[in-house]
Amino acid sequence: MNKTEIVLEGRNITKQYKTKGRKIQSLSDVNFALHRGEILGVVGESGSGKSTLLKMITGMERMDAGDLYHEGTSYTNSHPGKTGKFLQMIFQDAYGSFDPRRTMKQSLLEIQHTSMQDVLDMIEKVGLTPDLLERKPRQLSGGQCQRMSIARALLSHVDILLCDEITSALDVSTQAQVVTLLSDLRKKEGLSIIFVSHDLALVGNLCDRIMVLKDGTCVEDGKTEDVIWHPKDAYTKLLLSNAITITE
Ligand SMILES: Nc1ncnc2c1ncn2[C@@H]1O[C@H](COP(=O)(O)OP(=O)(O)OP(=O)(O)O)[C@@H](O)[C@H]1O
Ligand SMILES: [Mg+2]
């Protein structure tokens, strides 16, 4: 397997929602390719279709048109039961993704073919200590819980993580720790990651490539340095100038 191998690909992904007689074109003909060991950033204003794209990729919802491929094999409109074998979503609300009544140990040991030793090894890998395994989700900090959800994904032996605004509920230093962890895991474990975020500075630091969504279409994609330093599209320029104004 070479480094530029495409692990996940989407072609012409299209999704329209209908609510109260109104049609919302959430995604129109969106194309993307995720290479092995790569972090692909997805940015765009609220409502641009970022979360919808991840929902289509996981199969949580059906798309209207388009095709999805994992390692070259089509899995278009497959259910999460199938896609869960190769990808897992990490949510903004890490607490909500765990059973509140169970300890972390119980939740992690529920994953198929997982021994206590596997759990302990993984806890160390994500930078946590074993004592935290005795706690329930609400007894953890946001960053610790986020690491637990990354540990859960890795114990399931997926090689693709889909991260939807996973750092937006965390303070800046915890954000940095989670981002560093993802970056390390990508290098050490060869994980491929789609990282959705509002935070252009963060995406600029973490991601290899960036895709910019606006009103459900991809207006620009390319290498991070090209998109950040030489944006072609007017909307990308606007996003960048807004980001600079906020951080100044
Ligand atoms: N289940 C749904 N029913 C109707 N409309 C929906 C549904 N889910 C999303 N939408 C609409 O689709 C568009 C894209 O939504 P999406 O959640 O993908 O945006 P987003 O880029 O993730 O935004 P944010 O940054 O706020 O999370 C929005 O106009 C949204 O209102
Ligand atoms: Mg969203």
Q: Could you tell me the pTM of the whole model?
A: 0.94
Q: Is the CB of 19 under 6 A from ligand 1?
A: yes
Among all bound ligands, the one having the nearest atom to the CA of 43 is: 1
Kindly give the distance from the C-alpha atom of residue 214 to the centroid of ligand 1, in angstroms, as a whole number: 12
* Six-digit token string for 88: 């897992």
Kindly give the distance from the C-alpha atom of residue 12 to the centroid of ligand 2, in angstroms, as a whole number: 20
pLDDT confidence bin for 247, thresholds 50/70/90: low
Per residue in 99-124, pLDDT tens? 999 999 999 999 999 999 999 999 99
Quote the percentage of the chain above a pLDDT of 90.
Answer: 84
Residue among 134, 149, 139, 126 at smallest CA distance from 104: 134
Q: Is the CB of 44 under 6 A from ligand 1?
A: yes
Q: Round the average pLDDT of the chain to a whole number and report it.
A: 93
Instruction: Output the residue whose Cα is nearest ligand 1's atom 24.
Output: 46
Per residue in 48-70, pLDDT tens? 999 999 999 999 999 999 999 99
pLDDT for 168 equals 87
pLDDT for 149 equals 95
Q: Is the CB of 48 under 6 A from ligand 1?
A: yes
pLDDT for 1 equals 46
Kindly give the distance from the C-alpha atom of residue 52 to the centroid of ligand 2, in angstroms, as a whole number: 7
Kindly give the distance from the C-alpha atom of residue 212 to the centroid of ligand 2, in angstroms, as a whole number: 14
Kindly give the distance from the C-alpha atom of residue 131 to the centroid of ligand 2, in angstroms, as a whole number: 33
- CATH architecture under which domain 6-86+160-247 falls: 3-Layer(aba) Sandwich (3.40)
Gyration radius of the chain over CA positions: 18
Instruction: Output the residue whose Cα is nearest ligand 1's atom 25.
Output: 46
Residue 230 has pLDDT above 60, yes or no: yes
**Shortest-distance atom of ligand 1 to CA 55:** 18
Domain ranges of the chain: 6-86+160-247, 95-157
